[in-house]
Chains A and B, each alone.
Chain A
Amino acid sequence: MFIQALIAGIAVGSVYALIALGMVLIYKASSVINFSQGALVMIGAYITYAVVTGIPAPLWITIPIAIGLSALLGVVIERLIFRYMTGVDLIAVIMVTLGISFLLEGSTTAIWGTLNYSFPKILPEMSFSLGGIHISEVYIWSFIFSMVILIMFTLFFKYSKIGLRMRAVADNQKASISLGIHPGKMISLSWAISCVVATIGGVMLANIKLLNLGLSGIGILVFPVVILGGLDSIIGAVLGGFIIGILGSLSAVYAGGLMGGAVDQVVSFVILLIILLVKPYGLFGTKETLRL
């Protein structure tokens, strides 16, 4: 039972990690705290569903189309909204991302309705037993994806020229402009990447659960993850994802009967409160310096 809960926790945690990565990326590039990550996850899954079932073509054509569409969505959001919102108050940033999330959820309901869809199997079959416990392939794939994306991100930010430029924009926009970097383009790119990552997370989630409007709920669950790991830390997002995933899954198994449903959610938010009181900037976050 313990090992089963542990494996389920790692699997759910890797999905959390994927979605938290998207949030951290946007925060790093533009200090925007994205409350619409959950809605991006949901709409990414719907877009992929529509493309895969709607276009009669093999997966190696349809999946890139879906990924491209979600990247485009990210660029559009940045270009139409955030380009005009530099230097505004925190509450305005939070609310505008919530507004985006309502807009996306409303459009999704208007287009696809409130039905449940079962997601087509697009992941290659891969079954696997560990110590007599069967692990479904979705869990393995989400683990692999989150690991691959983590490594790709780390390499991208460390060694590629665009990654360096994005770090420059995140560090100091004015200085980066004077060096000939276009901050808008870099932030656009970070939104595009974040949307793609959210879409991958959404496809994983839709495979684990069903495809419905409830998928956007994960956007709130990811906050304990980014707070635990540190808002601006990629490795923190991944580690935080696993820790929150495992603790949530263990508490659902051991305390679920005692306290009723939704225990895992409450446990992760209790953890969030404790972290905020003890170590507000998380495990790997950069401490905010206050100046008069």
Chain B
Amino acid sequence: MHKNKTVIGLGIAVIFYLLGPFVLSDYMLYLVNLAAIATIGAVGLNILTGYTGLIAMANGAFIGVGAYTAAVLYTKLGVPFLLTIPIAGLMTAVIGMIFGIPALRLRGFYLAMSTLAAQILLMFIFNNWTSVTNGERGIFLAPPNLFGFSLVGDKGFFFLTVGIATLGMLFSYNLFKTDTGRAFIAIRDRDIAANIIGVDIFKYKLISFAISSFYAGVAGALFGFYMTYVSPEGFGLNVSIDYIAMIIVGGLGNLWGGLLGAIFVVILPEFVDKGIEIVGQFIPMEYTFAAFRQLVFGLMIIVFLVWEPKGLAEIFRRLFCWLKAKIFSPKSEMEPQV
């Protein structure tokens, strides 16, 4: 039974992957691409914040480091496109580890503050190191070549972004079967006890920073190539907060949390816009969409934290259990799900 389910799930994923670009409209594909890139960043942040318990407010800037690394390598040094993505990841991992060093002494809020400082400092560098980053004008990227095909538009990127996002989730899934992943969880649950049983806290915190930043760097490189433009605006504190919101709404310390949260945060504005359009037919409204997006976004974060702190992943799990109980079990055999 369990095996069948996995096979069915994989089948659906493969069909979606192969047919997606030909079935979905360009706009849908655009959203899927954005959600896939966000998933990479959110799964990475979930490793750091959800599984290791370290609050990082610099994910936006780390994504920026990846985007700038890829952009500079590609436009100024002519490094092949496919090579720039892992290099961007590695570069960001190094930067992430440097800003993870304060974790040697700090925890909780104080660590969050040191990553907030990292966010501000990196943004300052993006804006002011003009010889490399072009400052506020940003860097334009020509469409990259992949095996002789020019990679341009939503269809071309679909395979790349969704593919890498899937790889990222698989890596994260397997990571928590290894001793490294278990060490992360031990640190999150009780760091002093983890230390006593022989987990080198500082080492594993740094590894967690490195892995998480690697994800951010890859997401940043993809984001830069997809948008064909890299500028400091895309990597501000609001982006970092968006990513924390993703893993909160999706589910902290849950593999599916990153995916669900990323999808939610990417499509929420679309729903808000549609909702305002519908309401606007009856009540004349002159408000900007932006205001309502922000308002609804804030409200959703509060609602999730107050009513469902375990996020969408938990809601979906309960929904599946309920459905399974309804469909598969006869009434007499109904047992409480543990």
Contact of B114 with A276 in the complex, beta carbons under 8 Å: yes
CB distance from B188 to the nearest CB of A (A): 10
Contact of A260 with B110 in the complex, beta carbons under 8 Å: no
Selected from B190, B241, B294, the residue in CB contact (under 8 A) with A106 is B294
Bound CA–CA A276/B49 (angstroms): 20
Contact of B302 with A96 in the complex, beta carbons under 8 Å: yes
CB within 8 Å for A276 and B306 given contacts A90-B109, A102-B295, A260-B127: no
Contact of A91 with B298 in the complex, beta carbons under 8 Å: no
Bound CA–CA A266/B288 (angstroms): 32
CB 8 Å contact bits of A21-39 with B (1 = contact, 0 = none): 0000000000001000000
Stretch of A47-55, A236-244, A267-275 at the chain-chain interface: A267-275
Stretch of B19-27, B116-124, B150-158, B312-320 at the chain-chain interface: B116-124
Residues of chain A within 8 A (CB-CB) of B287 are: 109-110
Stretch of B100-108, B202-210, B222-230, B324-332 at the chain-chain interface: B100-108
Contact of B113 with A272 in the complex, beta carbons under 8 Å: yes
Q: Is the interface of A mostly helix, strand, loop or mixed?
A: helix
Selected from B116, B241, B248, B293, the residue in CB contact (under 8 A) with A92 is B248
In the complex, A227 has a CB within 8 A of chain B: yes
In the complex, A208 has a CB within 8 A of chain B: no
A window 49-85: CB within 8 A of B: 81, 84-85
Closest to A83 in B: B306
In the complex, B291 has a CB within 8 A of chain A: yes
Contact of A99 with B290 in the complex, beta carbons under 8 Å: no
Contact of A269 with B117 in the complex, beta carbons under 8 Å: yes
Contact of A292 with B190 in the complex, beta carbons under 8 Å: yes
In the complex, A262 has a CB within 8 A of chain B: yes
In the complex, B32 has a CB within 8 A of chain A: no
CB distance from A94 to the nearest CB of B (A): 7
Bound CA–CA A44/B296 (angstroms): 21
CB within 8 Å for A292 and B294 given contacts A95-B244, A96-B301, A265-B120: no
Closest to A36 in B: B298
Bound CA–CA A262/B248 (angstroms): 31
In the complex, A223 has a CB within 8 A of chain B: yes
CB within 8 Å for A95 and B305 given contacts A227-B113, A270-B121: yes
CB distance from B205 to the nearest CB of A (A): 15
In the complex, A100 has a CB within 8 A of chain B: yes
A window 184-222: CB within 8 A of B: 220
In the complex, A277 has a CB within 8 A of chain B: yes
Contact of B298 with A81 in the complex, beta carbons under 8 Å: no
A window 251-266: CB within 8 A of B: 259-262, 265-266
B window 260-306: CB within 8 A of A: 287-288, 290-302, 305-306
Contact of A88 with B302 in the complex, beta carbons under 8 Å: no
Contact of B244 with A100 in the complex, beta carbons under 8 Å: no
Contact of A96 with B306 in the complex, beta carbons under 8 Å: yes
CB distance from A267 to the nearest CB of B (A): 10
Contact of A102 with B297 in the complex, beta carbons under 8 Å: yes
Bound CA–CA A103/B291 (angstroms): 9
Contact of B298 with A106 in the complex, beta carbons under 8 Å: yes
Q: Mind listing 8 A-B residue pairs with CB under 8 Å?
A: A90-B108, A99-B245, A106-B293, A114-B288, A259-B128, A269-B117, A270-B117, A272-B116
Give 11 new A-B contacts, CB below 8 A, not counting A81-B302, A103-B298, A220-B237: A85-B306, A99-B301, A102-B297, A105-B294, A106-B298, A107-B295, A109-B288, A260-B127, A270-B117, A273-B117, A280-B105
